[in-house]
Chains A and B, each alone.
Chain A
Amino acid sequence: DSHIQYERVGADVTMKCGSMDWDAAVTWTANGTDIDESHLNGSYLILKKVDLTQSGQYSCYEGSSWHLKYQTYLRVGTPPREPLLMCRSNNYPKGFYCSWHLPTPTYIPNSFNISVIHGTREMVCEKDVFPKNRCHIRYLQLFSTVKYKVTLTVTNALGKNSTTLTFDEFTIVKPDPPENVVAKPVPNNPRRLEVSWQNPSSWPDPESFPLKFFLRYRPLILDQWQHVELSDGTSHTITDAYAGKEYIIQVAAKDNDIGTWSDWSVAVHATPWTEEPKHLTTEAQVAETTSTSTSSFMPPPTTKICDKGAVVGSGAVAVCWTAGLVLAAYGVLFI
């Protein structure tokens, strides 16, 4: 006759050998291994301050006949701590979802019960298939001033705990990040990058509920991001990229009027267009490369920028404001 027994970590556990008398001669085993008599008090098995490693199958056999008299499965665990609950609407105005988890494991099975109340009305939260700790609610009304109250209760054999979230319809709106972010160089434009993306597919109605976007970009070698906020459109051209540098670019989305910004999209990398250098050993370039530290950086030959017809080698002397600007920019970068 076997069953399951749940006990708290650190508790003292006394196991009785079924209906056997206290003074009966018995042998206990844990997962098939005999247990030393020092743990016995008569026919009772005493386990002091149990820990997780002591979970297992405990069996009690009558002394001489070796009949199995009692068997139990000991599961050592903890009662649940206060669960962490989060609710979010990434598909406004269709509905929202709530998801939860326990801050620390209990090591024993837990069951969850969620209730969603809107004013006087109890709403149904459709649960995802186990083991996903998530459920979905469909909005019946929009633009409500009445708060939603979500209570999650966790229960296991050793106790229960719960948490409640109260919020307004608008505060939990947070779209998923934009999808399919693509960044491309622009031919013949050494300082431009063309970025395009799509609305997150989970956002059901971008026509009536338009999204606005936040783009951030920086060259890999710098820590400082540059930001652009865009109130419409799903593309943008960066026009101030440092020539020849690889960039990292991300986009985030937000409903135009309510809620919070999405997480950043997956990062994309792109390098602006650079002209193929035809001569790699001009005097001007030798002078420049002595101050660079990154190997991926190849400055375009200064003669090309200033004057297409110039003779190779005269670039260092040529008076050309464009080269001066480029040098100044590089200088700033590498100080």
Chain B
Amino acid sequence: GDSWGLFTFLCAALCNLPALPALNCTEELGAGQSIQKTYDLTRYLEHQLRTLAGTYPDFNPPRLARAERAVPSATVDLDLWRGLTDNARLAANYRAYSGLLCYLRALDGQAGTAELRHRLGHFCSSLQGLVLSIASVMSSLGYPLPTSPAGPPAGPPGAPAAPNDFLKKMDDFWLLKELQTWLWRSAKDFNRLKKKVPPAVVTLRLEARGF
């Protein structure tokens, strides 16, 4: 009831943070360097996630069949993925991590120990860093930032996200799995972007805009 509404509000507030325009300091970096930095961040996050969440290679619990999350899945048609424009590629990453950040922050309330809360908090900060990094690459290339949906989808207020605590935890398992898969995908996305964006082009564009 009340707690659901509060949750939605908090999520909306938190999730609008990454939509800030890129700071001026990114003009100094060529897009090529920013892409490298973003790539390195995904590697760092992937490593952190493994320590935070552990790996359960054979664990395959049932997934709740429920309405689409605000987080798009990393899964994509092979040819479609190959053919993505730089803008679409970056936008997909941006939307995914914005949504994932929101859900992860919501997990914080369920973390059992102080140590786990602390580690989760640190992870969320790193994840926010990644979102901002992607935003800065997009703006340095002249792409508009996608408007991210504010938090979890609008279900009927008061409707429970999952029937019970156990199933919610299974749901969270899949959320983290999706996050891990996104981090692997991003490494490949940014590899593609690295090869395609020459820093020289970016400098010219910035000059044209009067910076």
Contacts and interface: CB of A to CB of B under 8 A. Distances in A.
A233 to B, nearest CB: 15
For chain B, what secondary structure do more than half of its interface residues adopt (helix, strand, loop), or is it mixed? helix
Contacts of B74: 143-145
A168 B174 CA distance: 13
Interface string A197-238: 000000000011110000000000000000000000000000
Contacts of B78: 93, 139-142
B191 interface: yes
Interface in B159-196: 174, 177-178, 181-182, 184-185, 187-188, 191-192, 195
A112 to B, nearest CB: 25
Interface string A114-147: 0000000000000000000000000111111111
A147 B177 CA distance: 12
A96 interface: no
Contacts of B182: 143
A170 B60 contact: no
A93 B191 CA distance: 14
Nearest to A170: B184
A321 B76 CA distance: 63
Interface in B64-104: 73-78, 81
Q: Is the interface of A mostly helix, strand, loop or mixed?
A: loop
Interface residues of B, number: 24
Contacts of B174: 145
A268 B91 CA distance: 47
Nearest to B42: A257
Interface residues of A, number: 21
Contacts, number: 57
B85 to A, nearest CB: 15
A250 B143 CA distance: 45
Given A168-B57, A207-B195, A145 B181 contact: yes
Contacts of B81: 142-143
B187 to A, nearest CB: 4
Interface string B38-79: 000001001000000000011010000000000001111110
A142 B187 contact: no
A166 interface: yes
Contact of B75 (A144, A171, A257): A144
A140 B177 contact: no
Contacts of B195: 207-208
Contacts of A144: 74-75, 181
Contact of B57 (A139, A171, A210): A171
Given A142-B185, A257-B187, 17 more contacts: A139-B78, A142-B75, A143-B81, A144-B74, A144-B181, A145-B75, A145-B177, A145-B178, A145-B181, A146-B75, A166-B60, A171-B57, A207-B192, A208-B195, A257-B46, A257-B184, A258-B184
- Nearest 8 pairs of A and B residues by beta carbon: A143-B74, A143-B185, A257-B187, A144-B75, A208-B192, A145-B177, A145-B181, A142-B78
